[in-house]
Amino acid sequence: MLNGIEGLRADCMQCKKCGLCETRNHVVFGVGHPQAKVMLVGEGPGEHEDLEGEPFVGRGGQLLDKLLAAVDLDRRTNIYITNIVKCRPPKNRDPLPEEQEACINWLRAQFAILRPKIIVCLGRVAAMRMIKPDIKITKEHGLFIEKNGVVMMPTLHPAALLRNPSQKPAAFEDFLKLREKIDELGCDVAKLP
Ligand code: URA
């Protein structure tokens, strides 16, 4: 029998807790190192993610991978990536509050298994849900906020960077700060002895 994060994935694959299960091709559960202490949380799968079953694999995902690589982070080696909702909202609309509510226990369970020390919220929807409902991402990105013993940082969503490339240097600064925080807290699994 599977347990841990893979057991949870198997359960999540069957989920029918909201209407998004009617239109999905794949549940997009998450990807990453099973001992990662850094978790990145996006909004929800888009078209490519829905087709492939993995978060952030479209153009935004490629940009995210480049930002991660620049600070020695990699989705299979030392971090974990998931989303607030695990199934694609039609036409990439924002996930509805009731869809987020129906899905949030999967994220809570991922959190309970992985016990991340740092959570990066990718974009407004994740930051509103995880940090505070009135967050102003354009002003507050790159700032660390401690909540219940977990350090959280909002940053700009990769899709926003594709729409507005002039914001890329600011996002890069956020990832440099993230690397500093990871080193300060000693939570890069790939660097443990
Ligand atoms: N946007 C997100 O927020 N998550 C994904 O997985 C892909 C695009």
Point out the least confidently predicted range of 162-166, 167-171, 189-193: 189-193
What rounded mean pLDDT belongs to the chain?
96
Contact status, residue 82 vs residue 9, Cβ threshold 8 Å: no
- For residues 103 and 12, what is the distance between their CA atoms, to the nearest angstrom? 10
Predicted pLDDT of residue 191:
85
Contact status, residue 114 vs residue 103, Cβ threshold 8 Å: no
* Token pair for 36: 């990662």
Label residue 157 by pLDDT band (50, 70, 90). very high
Compute the distance from residue 14 Cα to the ligand 1 centre, in Å: 20
For range 135-155, the mean pLDDT:
97
**60 Cβ partners below 8 Å, 6+ apart?**
46, 157, 158, 159, 161, 162
Answer yes or no: is the C-beta of 49 below 6 A from any ligand 1 atom: yes
* Token pair for 1: 């029998």
Residue 2 has pLDDT above 90, yes or no: no
Predicted pLDDT of residue 5:
93
Contact status, residue 16 vs residue 95, Cβ threshold 8 Å: no
Contact status, residue 182 vs residue 164, Cβ threshold 8 Å: no
- For residues 149 and 118, what is the distance between their CA atoms, to the nearest angstrom? 9
Task: Give 94's DSSP letter.
Answer: P
State which ligand 1 atom lies nearest to the alpha carbon of 81: 6
Label residue 20 by pLDDT band (50, 70, 90). very high
For range 146-172, the mean pLDDT:
97
pLDDT in tens, 92-136: 999 999 999 999 999 999 999 999 999 999 999 999 999 999 999
Regarding pTM above 0.85, the answer is yes
Q: How much of the chain is in helix, strand and coil states, percent to nearest 5? A: 50, 15, 40
State which ligand 1 atom lies nearest to the alpha carbon of 126: 3
- For residues 12 and 27, what is the distance between their CA atoms, to the nearest angstrom? 7
Answer yes or no: is the C-beta of 50 below 6 A from any ligand 1 atom: no
* Residue whose C-alpha is closest to residue 153's, from 188, 181, 133, 172: 181
Residue 192 has pLDDT above 90, yes or no: no
Compute the distance from residue 156 Cα to the ligand 1 centre, in Å: 12
Residue in the block written with tokens 């959280």? 152
Answer yes or no: is the C-beta of 43 below 6 A from any ligand 1 atom: yes
Percentage above 90 pLDDT, the chain? 95
Q: Terminus-to-terminus CA distance in the chain, angstroms?
A: 30
